[in-house]
Amino acid sequence: MQSGSKNPVDVARLKADIAAARIELLSAHCAADRIRLRYSPQDIVHFGERSDLKKAFASAAALCRFFAQLEAQFQQREER
């Protein structure tokens, strides 16, 4: 549901979804840190499953694009 659409935004649900996503992102961040601290980038690329790495790259890129878009809108709102 987007603001400006015919359906009103369920603010309580939105806030709960953001809080849940924050926890899931923290978990993913911790998992990435465990790998980063245990293995070198060269070992990860050499020994990691190619398909898993490609999927991880795609997921990380999609998250980066999504949050960059949100951050830009957040910054615009902060400047007002």
Residues 64-80 as b or e (16 or more Cβ within 10 Å = b): eeeeeeeeeeeeeeeee
Predicted pLDDT of residue 5: 63
pLDDT in tens, 12-44: 999 999 999 999 999 999 999 999 999 999 999
Query: Which pTM does this prediction carry?
Result: 0.80
Query: Does an H or E element contain 7, and which?
Result: none
pLDDT value at residue 1: 46
pLDDT at residue 3, rounded to an integer: 55
Mean pLDDT of the chain: 94
